[in-house]
Amino acid sequence: MTNSIPEIEGMEVIFIIGSNTKESHPVVANRMIKAHRRGAKIIVADPRRVPMVKFSEVFLKMRPGTDIALLNGMAHIIVKEGLLNGEFVREKTEGFDQWKKSVEEFTPERVEGITGVPKEDIVRAARLYGLSRKAGIFYTMGITQHTCGTDNVRAIANLVMLTGNIGRESTGVNPLRGQNNVQGSSDAACMPNVYPGYQKIDMPGIREKFEEAWGTALPPKPGLTATEMMDAAAEGRIRAMYIMGENPIITDPNMHHTIKALGSLDFLVVQDIFMIDTAELADVVLPAACSFEKDGTFANTERKVQRVRKAVEPPGEARDDMSILLEISKRLGYDMGHDTPEKVFQEYGRLWPAMAGITYRRLDGGGIQWPCPSGTHPGTRFLYKEGFPKGKAPFSSVAYCPPAEVTDEEYPFVLTTGRNLFQYHSGSMTRTVKSIEKHAGEPYVEINPLDAGRLGVRTGEMIKVASRRGEIEIRARLTKRVSEGTVFIPMHYREAAANVITNDALDPVVKIPEFKVCAVKIEAVR
Amino acid sequence: MVRINIDGKELQVPAQSTILEAAKNNDIFIPTLCHHPKLTPFGGCRLCLVEVKGFLKPVTACTTTVGEGMEVVTSSPEIEELRRLVLELILSDHPNDCMVCEKTGSCALQELAYMYGVREAEYAGERRNYETRDGNPFIERDLEKCILCGRCVKACDEIQGVEAIDFGYRGFRAKICTSYEEDLDCEFCGQCVAVCPTGALTGKLWKLKGRPGTTKEIDTVCPYCGIGCNITAHVKKNEIVRITSAEDTWNEGWLCVKGRFGYQFVSSPDRLVRPLIRTAPKSGMPSLGRKGIKWGEVFREASWEEALDLIASRIREIKETHGADALAGLSSARCTNEENYVFQKFMRAAVGTNNVDHCARL
């Protein structure tokens, strides 16, 4: 997020696209509702009638995978009606004139044709966002989990630059992070192309800096992303994997491919708190401690580093992840040179200036948002106050490109996936909570009553949902939340796993899979 | 800013503040029950009655805005008698249940009864008698303990935007209920539980597990989504028995169903407790929820020494045979910054590959 969560209260316009905020980030939704009570106008763009629609001024119920058309269409109207922030465009951006040509073809009529959203609503949304100079955009995986995910984000950035809605309090771009420490895992560089603090492996001098700090030679070539690792494993290029606290069988697309990939490894270590699905394929399973059983820090979606404190002892012989890794490292002949979370955090701060000013002692007074370069720096509530780090931000022309798999006669429905309010991700934690299981323990597919009627399916009946990659049987939930032609399956349930069906086609830049759109066929199970 | 006088103290306070806010910000105590700082004022409980010079009758401090030159008296024999009367009336229809009530020790009503020395009901008479019938697994509702302060109704509407509950009926029969008195069907965020001043709303999981004051309280961060709500874990006998969030946290004490009620995974009997080494050949398919698999026939328990030695030797072997880039590691967005830092350092410096990633894309 470029803004902080409390800043939401001060926004005039809140544009939510590809985020089921009320179910996936409920406490952010609380702030949005507060802003709404104070008069903020909310725009929701989503293929489903998600709960935040109740508070919206305009709801753009779009076809899955048509975000670029919608965003370019809004930009088209903002340019045409002169609602743009000319001063910001002149002073802070570049490439406007050329980009402008790229949105000319996205007339409201054409965009209505692609997205299925009435053109009047697109115009209303464009005017609301375009006229505001204190607007925030919020998105999550509904934007990023597409083969055009990177372009979707670029289209959002164009809209932001066009209106200058960034770099001020209560004004900015806010991707909401889906996991407690996904920001922190990225910051700490569990990514194949960077060292901690997003310092690129192949930038001159960077590898040398880390080689000196860690006292050993480091590999020069960037590695594989999670999705590429699975392909490499299936092809025999990866022979062993160490999986700590992840359950790719449930969370990766095209489950049969993931199972084949992990099954072809010579050696698989899974370190987790439960016997998760992925652990069933392991050679060694190590019992880990959960976050209530250890000390450390998390970084949340607004870049805020907060203290995690040990509340209980881990069960049996389970150990915290860090001490397990230190032990194996020692056995491999490399002593990491630190033994407590606080010492690790200090080393982290020495190697990444944006984290340098944060200490455990300071965190006892509350979380601190990076960048925080010195011990007296208060942290950074919102980004880009002093402009963009690289100078002028470039507009980038983004062409609309349909999803990798579109419907046809054989597979006439679009499947989109996501989370529900009660369960969480692969379910390894929430599905062991009895009260949650009692309330929301059964997998289901959301289907429009008109589609269900045509198939002769009533609510609660089992239906078969199949794609080119696999099929599952699952209970139908008839709801107008989804439009005709679209079905939705929450990702949490291993016994009817949505990812048996999903498409593992990747965005070419960031290698994110297209979880949000694939073509399926549906039939009643008699 | 306006000038007012409370209990003889001259104060400068913001023009839009209520008498209650002005008093609170200047450490002057006025008792309340229905007031909650994060919700709009209601003026229902009448405990915050104060005298204002020039006003014929006492006014509720929570709903009266300050005015220039206002003179307020927060405590006088008449005012205290009124407050006592209100308390006695509330307690005349409140179960004498403090011995086993989950709220004992953190109950606003109990605290005021203590302060005013109200021991037993002065006004015997009819009492409300409600059947408990709750289908939901999260929130326990005991309407006989409800004092109709309306905080839960406001939290559900103003904070959560759900409006699952409201005042129903009138007079003595008035109660907080759902439409048509059906079972609660809501988001189960538990904001209503958090703001309830008495034991009318509590967590089902909390029952007889340990009341506040008897538990160890540890401030930490929620383990679920990326919002990072601040939570307090209440621990008794090495078990988390309750999760709460304080009003003065950045998330203002608001949580969701997972954060507030989804903590039982920690003490689940299914937790892994010893290292396991595979003994059976790989079948190639996970069970995907199929029951009846005997893990003892697939893995054997091992000591940490044995498991760690095995991992180190296999990593070394594969690295020597196929090169370091034949190894890969997936770290976790559930783990701490420190563990993630150590994981990537382990893959890069100890194993020797940049094949390290986590689930940010998934």
Answer whether residue B361 shows pLDDT above 90: no
Which strand (E) or helix (H) includes residue A160? helix A149-163
Considering the domain architecture, whether residues A165 and A209 belong to the same structural domain is answered as no
Q: Is residue A270 a contact partner of residue B178, using CB atoms and an 8 Å limit?
A: no
Range of the domain at A513: 413-524
Residue at which a domain ends, from A141, A176, A211: A176
Mutate which: B311, B320, B327, B353, vs A, most A CBs within 10 A? B311
Considering the domain architecture, whether residues A10 and A135 belong to the same structural domain is answered as yes
Considering the domain architecture, whether residues A442 and A486 belong to the same structural domain is answered as yes
Considering the domain architecture, whether residues A159 and A26 belong to the same structural domain is answered as yes
Return the minimum-mean-pLDDT range out of A110-119, A256-265, A470-479, B180-189: B180-189
pLDDT at B125: 83
Which positions in chain B touch A144 (Cβ < 8 Å)?
361
- Our CA-based measurement puts residue B351 at a distance from the nearest CA of chain A, in whole angstroms, of 8
Considering the domain architecture, whether residues A468 and A502 belong to the same structural domain is answered as yes
Considering the domain architecture, whether residues A137 and A154 belong to the same structural domain is answered as yes
**Cα(A117)–Cα(A483) distance, integer angstroms:** 12
Q: Is residue B78 a contact partner of residue B167, using CB atoms and an 8 Å limit?
A: no
Considering the domain architecture, whether residues A201 and A107 belong to the same structural domain is answered as no
Residue B324 sits at the vertex; the CA angle it makes with B320 and B328, to the nearest 5 degrees, is 130
Distance of CA A471 to the CA centre of its chain: 25
Q: For each of the domains in chain B, give its residue range(s) and CATH number, in order of start.
A: 2-75 (3.10.20.740), 323-362 (no CATH)
Residue A134 in domain? yes
Considering the domain architecture, whether residues A135 and A186 belong to the same structural domain is answered as no
The DSSP bridge pattern shows strands B327-330 and A240-244 to be parallel
**Cα(B314)–Cα(B321) distance, integer angstroms:** 11
Residue A227 in domain? no
The DSSP bridge pattern shows strands B230-236 and A284-287 to be unpaired
Tens digits of per-residue pLDDT, B17-63? Answer: 999 999 999 999 999 999 999 999 999 999 999 999 999 999 999 99
Residue A318 in domain? no
CB contact under 8 A, A287 and B235: no
Provide the CATH number for the domain around residue A140: 3.40.228.10
Q: What does each C-alpha distance from A21 to A174, A299, A474, A479, B256 come to in angstroms?
A: 12, 19, 25, 19, 12
CB contact under 8 A, B342 and A223: no
CB contact under 8 A, B315 and A240: yes
Residue A199 in domain? yes
CB contact under 8 A, A179 and B334: yes
Answer whether residue A453 shows pLDDT above 80: yes
Number of Cα atoms under 13 Å in the Cβ half of residue B24: 14
Residue A63 in domain? yes
**Number of helices (H), then strands (E), in chain B:** 8, 16
Tens digits of per-residue pLDDT, A122-180? Answer: 999 999 999 999 999 999 999 999 999 999 999 999 999 999 999 999 999 999 999 99
Considering the domain architecture, whether residues A89 and A111 belong to the same structural domain is answered as yes
Output the six-digit token pair for A233: 């494993």
Give which of A322, A293, A320 is closest to A309, Cα–Cα.
Answer: A293
Q: Is residue B176 a contact partner of residue B143, using CB atoms and an 8 Å limit?
A: yes
DSSP A384-436: -TT-BTTBSEEP--------SS---SSS-EEEEEE--SSS-TTSTTGGG-HHH
* Number of domains chain A is built from: 3
A277, A287, A292: residue with CB nearest B240: A292
**Cα(A426)–Cα(A429) distance, integer angstroms:** 8
**Cα(A128)–Cα(A139) distance, integer angstroms:** 18
Output the six-digit token pair for B275: 């290292």
Helix axes A119-131, A149-163, angle to 10 degrees: 50
Residue A203 in domain? yes
Considering the domain architecture, whether residues A170 and A192 belong to the same structural domain is answered as no
Residue A234 in domain? no
CB contact under 8 A, A433 and B264: yes
Residue A375 in domain? no
Return mean pLDDT, chain A.
97
Number of residues that this document lists for chain A = 526
pLDDT at B132: 76
Return the minimum-mean-pLDDT range out of A347-351, B172-176, B260-264: B172-176
Which positions in chain A touch B359 (Cβ < 8 Å)?
179, 182, 185, 226, 246, 251
Residue at which a domain ends, from A142, A158, A176: A176
3-state class (DSSP) for residue B228: coil
Mean pLDDT of B200-222: 95
Mutate which: B230, B278, B336, vs A, most A CBs within 10 A? B336
Mutate which: A38, A221, A239, vs B, most B CBs within 10 A? A239
**Cα(A96)–Cα(B206) distance, integer angstroms:** 59
Which positions in chain B touch A278 (Cβ < 8 Å)?
286
Helix, strand, coil in percent for chain A, rounding step 5: 35, 20, 45
Which positions in chain A touch B310 (Cβ < 8 Å)?
284
Mean pLDDT of B276-280: 96
Considering the domain architecture, whether residues A187 and A44 belong to the same structural domain is answered as no
Helical ranges in B223-262 per DSSP H: 257-261
Considering the domain architecture, whether residues A169 and A182 belong to the same structural domain is answered as no
Tens digits of per-residue pLDDT, A296-353? Answer: 999 999 999 999 999 999 999 999 999 999 999 999 999 998 889 999 999 999 999 9
Q: What does each C-alpha distance from A169 to A46, A395, B101 come to in angstroms?
A: 26, 23, 45
Answer whether residue B124 shows pLDDT above 90: no
Residue found by looking up tokens 């419907």 in the block: A407
B246: phi then psi, degrees, rounded to nearest 5: -80, 150
